[in-house]
């Protein structure tokens, strides 16, 4: 059934702020979605390799999660609960502990800091400072941790940082893995300034790191680099925070992206796909000995989004009661990498990197990434760019997409790269 509408781009340009961004790259008015597909008001369908910036790992309107949500709403289950004890929250806590934490030998307290990833990061930074009594935080080049002031202070992107309007202090960037192309020994500068009383470097409370920098350009930290970082933090009495907002919940294959490295962070942040259905939800996890909060010392009106607890619980039961999804994600990630190999073999100045189903196609001529995504949109595929110069086509398809959908999307992307490069060479 087609619903007539008078909506077009003028509605949004007239009323909505200039801050809008994704709609500029994808000039369509979207209406419905199912699985790996979006449909606009004109009936055009688009294969979604963006998945809500990683918030829809299980696809749009996943039927298993939708059924649980509709049943909860129909029986008048609590929607807004602050941090009150509710049945929905209790069932989530029990399920998360039993199916996620305990099988991995992880002992974390769980905090609900607010609805988004930046809320989880702000809570992590505040807690680290409270526990250690120190102010400084170490972050990494090309990091992205959120848009509120504390998160921006540990973010690398200059455009996003400039939006703060004030100095962003108490954070010091260090080079991420392979920042110097292997020329400088990892952590050489970091450890030296920590130990040098003449460095002018305030002893930090914590280090915050992404195992794969999504917004930074799909930069992948090697397992040995992460182990080296964890060891350095332990030796120097620094708390290690892993920001798993985008790369957690199975995006790299394992539920937590740090599992491959065999490390146990002191603090972990989760959001995006932890709610399962795309409903706002975030967690800050930390070792029990770090739970020094006073009641109400860190809170938020929407930290008790009970419908998200319901869909999160159902997602964990459905997809994390065994390792089937994890195995599939790793296999599909290899398929994407193989398709990228073929593209790179045809064209100079194109390379790729990634882990699991977070994959990036890197262009030496940065403008080709934007043009590739523009052409792909015209062919019915949503993909975004990332990196400091938007030089990377970043793929974050739903983890649940079919093999046929994956092949279809990679074929569109391959054609789009060919066309973008042909235009440039014409």
Q: 105-109 — which CB contacts under 8 Å span 24+ positions?
A: 106/264, 106/285, 107/287, 107/288, 108/268, 108/285, 108/286, 108/287, 108/288, 109/285, 109/286, 109/287, 109/288, 109/290, 109/291
Res 6: pLDDT: 64
Taking the CA atoms of 345, 346, 348 and 354 in sequence, report the sign of the dihedral they define. Answer: negative
Question: What is the rounded average pLDDT of the residues 11-18?
Answer: 88
Contact partners, residue 42, CB within 8 Å, separation at least 6: 28
Instruction: Find tokens 């070792």 and name the residue.
Output: 287
Per mean pLDDT, which range of 80-94, 152-166, 233-247 is the poorest? 152-166
Q: Is residue 31 predicted with pLDDT exceeding 80?
A: yes
Neighbours of 215 (CB within 10 A): 23
Question: What is the rounded average pLDDT of the residues 375-383?
Answer: 98
Q: Is residue 2 predicted with pLDDT exceeding 60?
A: no
Q: Is residue 19 predicted with pLDDT exceeding 70?
A: yes
Q: pLDDT-based confidence at 357, cuts 50/70/90?
A: very high
> Between residues 348 and 13, which one has the greater pLDDT?
348
Res 314: pLDDT: 98
Res 232: pLDDT: 95
Res 1: pLDDT: 45
Res 183: pLDDT: 64
Res 361: pLDDT: 98
Q: CA-CA distances (angstroms) from residue 137 to 70, 125, 204?
A: 43, 8, 5
Query: Which two structure tokens, joined as six digits, stand for 306?
Result: 């009970």
Report the mean per-residue pLDDT for the chain. 95
Determine the Cα–Cα distance for residues 248 and 414; give it in Å rounded to an integer. 27
Query: Which two structure tokens, joined as six digits, stand for 23?
Result: 């709609």
CA 325 to chain centre: 18
Q: In what order do the strands lie in the sheet with 206-209?
A: 109-111, 283-286, 267-270, 239-243, 206-209, 137-140, 171-174
Q: Is residue 184 predicted with pLDDT exceeding 70?
A: no
Q: What percent of the chain has pLDDT over 70?
A: 98
Q: Is residue 185 predicted with pLDDT exceeding 90?
A: no
Res 22: pLDDT: 87
Instruction: Find tokens 């696809």 and name the residue.
Output: 59
Res 315: pLDDT: 98
Q: Is residue 201 predicted with pLDDT exceeding 90?
A: no
Query: Which two structure tokens, joined as six digits, stand for 76?
Result: 């008048």
Q: Is residue 336 predicted with pLDDT exceeding 60?
A: yes
Question: What is the rounded average pLDDT of the residues 251-270?
Answer: 98
């Amino acid at each position: 059934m087609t619903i007539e509408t008078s909506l077009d781009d003028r509605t949004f340009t007239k009323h909505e702020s200039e801050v809008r961004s994704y709609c500029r790259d994808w000039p369509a008015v979207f209406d419905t979605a199912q699985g790996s597909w979006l449909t606009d008001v004109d009936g055009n369908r688009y294969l979604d390799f963006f998945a809500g910036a990683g918030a829809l790992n299980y696809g749009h309107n996943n039927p298993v999660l939708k059924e649980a949500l509709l049943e909860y709403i129909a029986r008048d289950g609590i929607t807004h609960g602050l941090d009150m004890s509710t049945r929905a929250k209790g069932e989530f806590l029990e399920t998360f502990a039993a199916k996620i934490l305990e099988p991995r030998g992880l002992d974390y307290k769980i905090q609900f800091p607010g609805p988004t990833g930046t809320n989880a990061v702000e809570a992590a930074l505040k807690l680290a400072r409270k526990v250690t009594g120190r102010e400084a935080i170490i972050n990494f080049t090309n990091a992205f941790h959120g848009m509120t002031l504390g998160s921006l202070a540990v973010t690398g992107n200059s455009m996003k940082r400039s939006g703060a309007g004030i100095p962003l202090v108490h954070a010091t960037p260090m080079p991420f893995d392979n920042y110097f192309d292997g020329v400088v020994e990892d952590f050489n500068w970091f450890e030296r300034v920590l130990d040098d009383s003449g460095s002018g470097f305030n002893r930090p409370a914590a280090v915050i790191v992404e195992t794969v920098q999504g917004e930074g350009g799909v930069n992948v930290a090697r397992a040995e680099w992460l182990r080296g970082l964890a060891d350095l933090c332990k030796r120097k009495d620094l708390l290690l925070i892993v920001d798993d907002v985008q790369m957690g919940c199975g995006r790299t294959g394992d539920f937590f992206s740090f599992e491959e490295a065999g490390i146990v962070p002191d603090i972990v942040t989760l959001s995006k796909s932890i709610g399962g259905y795309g409903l706002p939800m975030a967690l800050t996890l930390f070792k029990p000995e770090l739970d020094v909060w006073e009641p109400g010392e860190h809170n938020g009106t929407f930290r008790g989004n009970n419908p998200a607890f319901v869909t999160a619980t159902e997602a964990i039961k459905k997809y994390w009661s065994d390792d089937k999804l994890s195995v599939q994600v790793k296999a599909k990630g290899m398929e994407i990498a193989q398709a990228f190999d073929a593209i790179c073999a045809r064209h100079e100045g194109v390379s790729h990197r990634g882990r699991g189903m977070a994959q990036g196609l890197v262009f030496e001529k940065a403008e080709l990434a934007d043009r590739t995504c523009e052409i792909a949109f015209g062919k019915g595929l949503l993909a975004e760019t990332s990196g400091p110069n938007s030089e990377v086509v970043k793929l974050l398809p739903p983890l649940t997409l079919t093999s046929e959908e994956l092949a279809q999307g990679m074929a569109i992307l391959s054609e789009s790269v060919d066309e973008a490069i042909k235009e440039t060479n014409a």
